[in-house]
């Protein structure tokens, strides 16, 4: 496969310029070169020639070369001293060059963060209207009308899930009741029956770790108990057990973990408690019985695709039929909030394959559907696969996206949260759809970072979210002298939240052996 070299100087522009190039030219294997690159890489690139290069010069102009043609970019509104504004102006210019070359717009324009709905959420939270939100998306980031609309709709849904408009009112009057004062719990199980081709999560093949299962459960339950006084006497708003695949554990182990969660965190049938039963090859009747016994309110049975050929290629060992059976079994046992995940843009899949997956989903009628666009993560096995096979097997188009959108709509599901990842095929996004009332609060809390999350298990990250000590009170809410949405966001305290994090070790052995250290770290974070 041929490398397509691009040169970027200085390196601080690398991430943004590269994100633009990879979104416009997803099928090229783009290799970045910066002044600090190894000499042999530079020599290879010089020999092959640069597809694109940009060099910001001392006088503030930038010398740009694209497909052998050169021009000088002279900023009109910014200087290199104001890095953020200069970068945006430069990227806007590059966007127009790449747009002219490819004849297309990017759905999310120049936005490449993982939380693209945040500006709309801030706009809605601070009493601003849709038009101000739209204007921000389009003028700052060149986002399409469709995505600006989608961001607003999702922000409104998120606010509903978070407790409705009375919380917006209460926040504006300085009273931080509701979700902002609460917390959620995440329980991580880092094991899976096998590793999928595209996986970049903490997920170890169970076969290699089966002897560590009980020790892991022991450590996990100890961690949960030891942290029980961080929010004394207070139940979380939601509990989410993910991974990995929690149902990769056996029924006894699952029972033990959930029992401790119930004892220590007052988890009960009225609380949102999700367990990702992700892979059908890990789902058995005895495990579902355990989940049912504990009143687990929401589970996931994730096909990703219903095309057997693709499942074989991506290394998901459960067959399409097994997933249908697992879903039906869960329904028969009374689970009334079942999510399914699918991925668009999987290798070898086009409209016909996605149509087939959508047809099966419409027959099964899950209560929520999370539609992902494949992220071409270089850290996964997929990175190696692409090295060998190139990008030509990946297709993700507007037509494919609309098939999934129609599928959700045909069974009454509405979009309620959205996020993006780096290097998503087609420059699209991941969208969570649900029947009204069946949305997952935890997903919204995570996306908008409006609540603390106490996380247990290997590779998990706890997050402390508190009202900022330097918050500017009334500035958050709409008033005659309040700043524009852009100014509010740029000021960095738009949501008036201070966020700090602490991470547990990813390796199972480190996690088990150094548990006291992790517990202390978490207590320190929250104290």
* Contact residues: ligand SF4, CB under 6 A: 192, 195-196, 199, 201, 203, 243-245, 278-279
> Minimum CB separation from ligand SF4 for residue 203, in Å?
4
CB of 390 to ligand SF4, least distance (A): 22
Distances (CA, A) of 134 to 72, 130, 149, 160, 168: 31, 6, 7, 20, 20
Task: Report the distance separating Cα 309 and Cα 402, nearest Å.
Answer: 23
Q: What is the closest distance, in whole angstroms, from the C-beta atom of residue 427 to ligand SF4 in the complex? A: 21
Q: Which is nearer to ligand SF4, 203 or 418 (CB)?
A: 203
State how far the Cα of 118 lies from the Cα of 420, in Å rounded to an integer. 12
Instruction: Kindly tell me which of 178 and 243 has the beta carbon lying closer to ligand SF4.
Output: 243
Give the residue with the Cβ less far from ligand SF4, 87 or 279: 279
Query: Which is closer to ligand SF4, CB of 242 or CB of 415?
Result: 242
- C-beta closer to ligand SF4: residue 7 or 442: 442
Coil, strand or helix: which one is 342? strand
On whether the CB atoms of residues 203 and 192 are closer than 8 A, the answer is yes
Do residues 129 and 152 touch, judged by C-beta distance below 8 A? Answer: no
The tally of CA atoms less than 13 A away on the side-chain side of residue 144 is 11
Q: How far is the CB of 246 from ligand SF4 (least distance, A)?
A: 10
Which CB, 298 or 377, lies closer to ligand SF4?
Answer: 377
Closest CB to ligand SF4 among residues 106, 196: 196
- Residue 348 Cβ vs ligand SF4, minimum distance, rounded to whole Å: 18
Tokens of 436: 């009204």
Within its chain, how far is the Cα of 460 from the centroid? 15
β partners of residue 431: 371, 418
CA–CA dist 94, 17 (Å, integer): 8
CB of residue 256 to ligand SF4, shortest distance in Å: 21
CB of residue 440 to ligand SF4, shortest distance in Å: 17
Q: What are phi and psi of 155, to 5 degrees?
A: -60, -40
Q: By the 8 A CB rule, do 374 and 427 touch? A: no
**What is the distance between the alpha carbons of residues 341 and 334, in angstroms, rounded to a whole number?**
20
Q: For residue 298, which phi and psi values (nearest 5 degrees)?
A: -145, 135
| Residue 248 beta carbon to ligand SF4: minimum distance, rounded to whole angstroms | 8
Measured from the CB atom, the residue of 117 and 274 that comes closer to ligand SF4 is 274
CB of 280 to ligand SF4, least distance (A): 10
DSSP for 361-430?
HHHH--SEEEEEE-B--TTSHHHHHHHHH-STT----HHHHHHHHHHHHHTT-EEEEEE--TTBGGG--E
Q: How far apart are CA 305 and CA 342, in angstroms?
A: 6
Q: Which residue is nearest to ligand SF4 (CB)?
A: 199
The nearer residue to ligand SF4, 101 or 321, going by C-beta atoms, is: 321
Residue closer to ligand SF4 by CB (options 124, 203) is: 203
Q: How far is the CB of 292 from ligand SF4 (least distance, A)?
A: 22
Pairing type for strands 272-276 and 183-189 reads unpaired
Closest to ligand SF4 by CB, 277 or 453: 277
Peptide bond into 472 cis (omega under 30): no
Residue 298 CB, nearest approach to ligand SF4 (Å)? 17
Instruction: Calculate the CA 379 to chain-centre distance.
Output: 16
């Amino acid at each position: 496969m041929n490398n397509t070299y691009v040169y970027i100087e200085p390196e601080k522009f690398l991430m943004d310029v590269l994100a633009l190039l990879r979104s416009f030219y997803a099928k090229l294997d783009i290799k970045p070169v910066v002044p600090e690159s190894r000499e042999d890489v530079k020599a290879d690139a010089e020999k092959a020639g640069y597809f694109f290069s940009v060099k910001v010069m001392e006088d503030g102009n930038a010398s740009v070369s694209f497909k052998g043609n050169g021009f000088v970019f002279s900023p009109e509104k910014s200087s290199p001293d104001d890095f953020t504004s200069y970068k945006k102006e430069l990227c806007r210019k590059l966007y127009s060059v790449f747009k002219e070359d490819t004849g297309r717009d990017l759905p999310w324009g120049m936005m490449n963060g993982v939380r693209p709905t945040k500006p709309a959420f801030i706009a809605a939270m601070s009493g601003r209207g849709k038009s101000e939100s739209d204007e921000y998306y389009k003028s700052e980031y060149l986002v399409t009308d469709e995505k600006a609309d989608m961001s607003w709709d999702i922000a409104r849904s998120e606010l509903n899930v978070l407790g409705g408009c009375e919380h917006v009112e209460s926040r504006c009057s300085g009273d931080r009741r509701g979700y902002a004062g609460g917390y959620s719990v995440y329980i991580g199980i880092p094991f899976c029956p096998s590793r999928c081709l595209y996986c970049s999560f903490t997920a170890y093949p169970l076969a290699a770790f089966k002897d560590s299962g009980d020790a892991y459960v022991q450590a996990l339950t100890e961690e949960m108990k030891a942290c029980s006084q961080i929010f004394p006497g207070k139940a979380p708003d939601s509990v989410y057990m993910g991974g990995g695949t929690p149902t990769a554990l056996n029924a006894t182990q699952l029972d033990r973990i959930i029992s401790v969660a119930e004892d220590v965190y007052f988890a009960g049938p009225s609380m949102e408690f999700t367990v990702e039963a992700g892979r059908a090859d890990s789902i058995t009747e005895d495990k579902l019985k355990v989940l049912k016994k504990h009143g687990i309110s929401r589970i996931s049975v994730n096909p990703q695709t219903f095309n057997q050929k693709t499942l074989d290629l991506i290394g998901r060992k459960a067959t399409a039929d097994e997933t249908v059976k697992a879903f039906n079994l869960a329904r028969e046992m009374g689970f009334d909030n079942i999510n399914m995940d699918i991925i668009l843009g999987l290798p070898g899949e086009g409209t016909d394959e996605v149509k087939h997956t959508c047809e099966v989903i419409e027959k099964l009628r899950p209560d929520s559907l999370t539609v992902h666009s494949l992220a071409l993560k270089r850290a996964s096995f997929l990175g190696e696969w692409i090295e060998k096979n190139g990008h030509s097997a990946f297709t993700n188009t507007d037509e494919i996206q609309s098939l999934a959108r129609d599928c959700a709509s045909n069974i009454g599901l509405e979009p309620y949260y959205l996020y993006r990842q780096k290097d998503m095929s087609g420059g699209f996004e991941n969208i969570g759809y649900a029947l009204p009332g069946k949305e997952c609060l935890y997903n919204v809390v995570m996306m908008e970072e409006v609540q603390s999350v106490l996380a247990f298990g290997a590779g998990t990250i706890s997050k402390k979210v508190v009202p900022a000590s330097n918050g500017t009170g009334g500035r958050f809410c709409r008033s005659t002298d309040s700043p524009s949405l852009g100014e509010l966001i740029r000021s960095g305290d738009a949501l008036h939240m201070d966020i700090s994090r602490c991470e547990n070790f990813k390796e199972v052995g480190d996690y088990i052996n150094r548990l006291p250290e992790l517990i202390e770290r978490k207590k320190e974070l929250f104290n």
